[in-house]
Structure 1
């Protein structure tokens, strides 16, 4: 039986931004399905149904969407939030590690989006909200794999939005800055570390830890996601929090050389 309320499906909802987003959708009047790799034993927020999902698996993505449709009869909003961080110099990340990160952060989004689009098209509407980052528009040394995944997500989302808009579907991007989550501690570490980068990596770890501790509360990002889901006239991109707004504006307006120097200064790099 179809739910009478709109249904939001939020991937990576067992903690951090995803969990706060699930709560925010409940408060906004949605039925909410949140996913995690292993949700048994977890207590979902009130009003949220937890289901298992591995975004790295075609079969898991297809089965999850089918189960949500069977239980609720509809999916009005998909929030592609599940993702993984990655640290280390590019020389320290194997191609296999790069493939693993992109399989979750990029192909995982593609799997879930392809699974929901036929249903949304048949219903004549829906929104897919992809969680990008300020690092989808700006560089970050020693996070190149993650940055590459978010830049890819930006181009994918904007292109797809043009394809499906005539069917009543919008593909939207939310760009958080640093957020107070366990993201940095859970990031994939380089699988082929090199001594020549050890000191730079140590400094990078300090920079990121400081940025995360001063970052936005996940609820700030969650509110922005719900805004994107419910705006009568949605925008392609939504920045979440004041730092994200400053960085994206600077990327557009600040001269390239000045922006480049600021990146190096922020990361305590020479020159």
Structure 2
């Protein structure tokens, strides 16, 4: 099945942003392989092959990347989209739970990147597109560990991009705002809840539920991912939609004290 078409590998493609991205890349002319922890249970997507993948497992990552190379002889684009949410006050989650979030959201990206980089360097080009978030550059009370994982991806991606650019490889960030995917419903809840945070945690859950209900369509993020995959002169960061663009601009231009006040107001925090 060797091909002259560009090949894209999309993690976390069974639903939401990943599914929309896989479909959009296929429509843009890519041979697309999507991954899921249980590929057999995934509803088919036109033009997309599915493979099982656990981004938290070294052997699983190696097997999946190896299979794609065996099929097509190349990987031109890797979209690191698989991730997990977490909610609750930072004090309420065990270290083991925090490590689980990082093992998927951060080390999952690192595992996949290390697996594809040798192939991309050998072929003289490629793009690694990491799904970050506006929470990669703004604070998120009662989502501190998740925000920390996205901040980590921002630093990793920008640093790595400088290292591999001379080899024809780019590492790019797509930064969605709140997206209507049901992501919040599957977020990991704190395993050590404390009464002192219960009321504010409940308020924050309500705030986020309202925000997600009015969130962007996953297709908005998919459009940004396709742009990152195909732009002749790619940007380091792609704000996924007008809302993400506005928040990115505000973060840069609004004075720190005023921005801090707005974060507290949005999250209905006292003081």
User: Taking structure 1 as the reference length, what is the TM-score of the superposition?
Assistant: 0.99
Q: Per-residue deviation at 1:90? A: 0.7
Deviations 1:11-38 (A, max 9, x none): 0000000000000001100010000000
Gaps of at least 5 residues in structure 1 are: none
Identify the residue that residue 72 of structure 1 maps to in structure 2: 72
Q: How many residues align?
A: 271
- In structure 2, the partner of 1:233 is 233
What are the Cα deviations for residues 170-218 of structure 1, in whole angstroms up to 9, with x where unaligned?
Answer: 0000000000001000000000000111110110111000110111000
2:218 is equivalent to residue 218 of structure 1: yes
Q: Which residue of 2 aligns with 1:101?
A: 101
| Counterpart secondary structure, 2:66 | helix
Instruction: Kindly indicate whether residue 39 of structure 2 is the aligned counterpart of residue 55 of structure 1.
Output: no
The C-alpha deviation readout for 1:104-135, integer Å capped at 9, x for no partner, is 00000000000000000000000000000000
Distance 1:179 1:207 in 2: 14
Equivalent residue runs for 1:87-166 within 5 Å: 87-166=87-166
Q: How big is the shift at 1:41? A: 3.0
Backbone CA RMSD of aligned residues? 0.6
| Partner Cα separation in structure 2 for residue 206 and residue 246 of structure 1 | 23
SS in 2 for 1:116: helix
**Equivalents in 1 of 2:171, 2:103: separation in Å?**
20
Q: Aligned partners of 2:140 and 2:133: how far apart in 1? A: 11
Shift of the alpha carbon at 1:242?
1.2
Q: Which runs of 5+ in 2 are unaligned?
A: none
The alpha-carbon deviation at position 57 of structure 1 amounts to: 0.5
- For residues 21 and 61 of structure 2, what CA distance do their matches in structure 1 show? 20
Query: Which residue of structure 2 lines up, in the alignment, with residue 21 of structure 1?
Result: 21
In 1, the alpha carbon distance for the partners of 2:3 and 2:89 equals 48
Partner SS state of residue 40, structure 1: helix
SS in 1 for 2:39: coil
* Rounded Cα–Cα distance in structure 2 between residues aligned with 1:10 and 1:224: 14
Secondary structure of the residue that 2:32 maps to in structure 1?
strand
Q: For 1:123 and 1:38, locate their aligned partners in 2 and report how far apart those are by CA, in whole Å.
A: 30
TM-score, normalising length: structure 2: 0.99
Shift of 1:39: 1.1
CA distance in 1, matches of 2:203, 2:37: 32
